[in-house]
Structure 1
Amino acid sequence: MTAVDGAVHVRYLVDDVRAAIDFYTGHLGFVPGERVFPPAFADVRRGNLLLLLSGPESSAARPMPDGRKPGPGGWNRIHLLVDDIDAEVTRLRKAGVEFRSEVVSGPGGRQIVLDDPAGNPVELFQP
C-alpha cells in the first residue's frame, strides 16, 4: 500500500470539530487542511502529519456491527517533537490546556501527555 500524498494520516474522534480545529491550530502549530466540514469532519496538518478530526456526525463515528460506538480518548496518541518541552508546557498551561501527566524523563528524552478538547491524548517529546 502506498500513500498518495506522502503524509501520515491519523484519525481522532472528537466531540466538537470546530473546538478541535481551534485547539490544534491555536496551540500545537497545525494549519487547517483542505477538507473542513464541521460539525462532521475536518483535517489539520503539521508537516507530514494529516490529522483527521471526525465528529459525532461523521461516518467514522457510526456504531460497529456488534453495537460498540467509537469515541474519543484512550492512550494511543500522536507524538509531536518539540525543541524546549519546559517552554511548551508553560505556554500551554497558561492557555488552559489540560495535561494528563507531568514531564517525565526516559532513556530517549522527556515527554508529557496532554488532552485535546475531546480527551484525545497528544504527547510532546523532547529528544
Structure 2
Amino acid sequence: MTETALINIDVDDLERAVAFYTSAFGLQVGRRLGPSIVELLGAGAPIYLLEKAAGSAASPTTDDRRCYARHWTPVHLDFVVGDIEAAVDAALAAGAVLEVPAATHVWG
C-alpha cells in the first residue's frame, strides 16, 4: 500500500506559482531543487512545482504540448479548509479566477 504521495504540478512561471500557492493556501517553501523545481510544504503531501515551458512536449510518447491558457493538467487539487469563504478570498487575492461559485456537497 502506498503511504506517501507526492504531488507534481507543471507551471510556466515558477516564481509566480510559488507566490500563488504560498499566498492562496498558506504553504511554505521547503526546498529548491535546482532552478526549476520548488517543494512546497504544509499540505497533506509535499507539492512540487515543476517549471515547464508553454509549448514544450508533455511526454516523449505524445504530440501533446503544454498550454497554460486555463491550466495545464486536467487533474484537480483539493484542499480541505475550515472556512471556505476565507479560503476563496485568499485564493482570489493571490490571483485565482473563480469559474463557478464555491458550494458544499455531500462529499465535502
TM range (shorter): 0.7 to 0.9
Q: Structure 2: which 5+ residue stretches go unaligned?
A: none
Alignment identity in percent? 23
Correspondence for 1:65 among 40, 61, 66:
61
Task: Indicate how the Cα distance of structure 1 residues 23 and 96 shifts in structure 2: closer, same or farther if over 3 A, else same.
Answer: closer
Trace 1:59-98 onto structure 2 (pairs within 5 A): 63-70=59-66, 72-98=71-97
Q: Which moved more, 1:24-33 or 1:87-96?
A: 87-96
Q: Which moved more, 1:67-76 or 1:96-105?
A: 67-76
Q: How far does residue 67 in structure 1 lie from its aligned partner after superposition?
A: 2.9
SS state of the match for residue 40, structure 2?
strand
The CA distance in 1 between the partners of 2:98 and 2:33, in whole Å, is: 27
1:10 paired to 2:11? no
1:30 paired to 2:30? no
1:21 paired to 2:25? no
Maintained 8 Å contact 1:63/1:70: no
Give CA-to-partner distance per residue, 1:6-58, whole Å, 9 cap, x none: x42011110111111111112211110223433x221111243111111126x
TM-score, with structure 2 as normaliser: 0.73
The structure carrying a bigger strand percent of its residues is: 1
TM-score, with structure 1 as normaliser: 0.64
Count of aligned pairs between the two proteins: 103
Q: How far does residue 104 in structure 1 lie from its aligned partner after superposition?
A: 1.9
What is the RMSD of the two structures over their aligned residues, measured on CA atoms? 2.7
Q: How far does residue 93 in structure 1 lie from its aligned partner after superposition?
A: 3.0
